[in-house]
């Protein structure tokens, strides 16, 4: 695997009918909030090419009435996402939250305990507001060291397990580990090209679909 593989308080309590009712927009449709970094913010891509806009198209194709809010910011860390999440909850009242953060924590060498804490608090806050959460994991290449690689990967599954959230183990599966991986990444070898975006969506979709109304 190359460096391309990178790009990747208190109890939430019982969900109440009131909280779940709050987590919809005025039309009653589900609201899917994507809280991510450059992997979800269409870095280096034309608008509409990223996996999040492709998600909107798939929802429409499958006649699933839902609103998608892409609150992803290139360069964001789990700490940054945690800081801006409360305002996003108030503004958008999401019924579903997709959390795609952590890659930049690894790039900056931030403590894994901080990443875990931030993801945990984001998830608990979303659940307390009545939203269902999907944690999207990322992996780092072997040159980070075997121990760090394993512990970093485990952060996402641990948070998902503790909070009973849905989990996508590796956003870049089928891209970073593909035989022709380099051809699927931009020149920086970190951000997937437009050609790779459908695969990212295919990695997220099965778990997200389970959380949406039938």
Structural contact between residues 205 and 20, judged by C-beta atoms closer than 8 angstroms? no
Structural contact between residues 131 and 167, judged by C-beta atoms closer than 8 angstroms? no
Residue 165 CB-half CA count within 13 A: 33
**Residue tagged active-site, from 78, 92, 96, 191:** 191
Structure tokens at 191: 């951000």
Q: What are phi and psi of 133, to 5 degrees?
A: -120, 140
Whether residue 38 lies in the annotated active site? yes
**Residue tagged active-site, from 37, 38, 72, 105:** 38
E-strand ranges in the chain read: 31-36, 67-70, 96-100, 132-136, 166-168
Q: How far apart are CA 190 and CA 181, in angstroms?
A: 11
Structure tokens at 70: 């892409």
Give the residue numbers annotated as catalytic, written as ranges.
38, 188, 191
């Amino acid at each position: 695997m190359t460096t391309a593989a990178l790009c990747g308080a208190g109890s939430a309590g019982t969900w109440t009918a009131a909280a779940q009712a709050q987590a919809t927009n005025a039309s009653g449709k589900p609201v899917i909030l994507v809280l991510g970094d450059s992997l979800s913010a269409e870095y280096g891509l034309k608008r509409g090419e990223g996996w999040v806009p492709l998600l909107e198209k798939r929802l429409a194709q499958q006649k699933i009435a839902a609103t998608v809010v892409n609150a992803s910011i290139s360069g964001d860390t789990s700490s940054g996402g945690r800081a801006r999440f409360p305002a996003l909850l108030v503004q958008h009242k999401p019924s579903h939250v997709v959390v795609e953060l952590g890659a930049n924590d690894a790039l900056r060498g931030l403590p894994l305990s901080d990443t875990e804490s931030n993801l945990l608090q984001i998830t608990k806050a979303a659940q307390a507001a009545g939203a269902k959460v999907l944690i999207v994991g990322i992996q780092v290449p072997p040159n980070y060291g075997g121990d760090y690689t394993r512990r970093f990967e485990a952060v996402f599954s641990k948070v998902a397990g503790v909070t009973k959230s849905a989990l996508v183990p590796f956003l870049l599966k089928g891209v970073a580990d593909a035989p022709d991986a380099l051809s699927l990444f931009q020149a920086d070898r970190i951000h997937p090209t437009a050609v790779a975006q459908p695969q990212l969506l295919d990695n997220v979709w099965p778990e997200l679909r389970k959380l949406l109304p039938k």
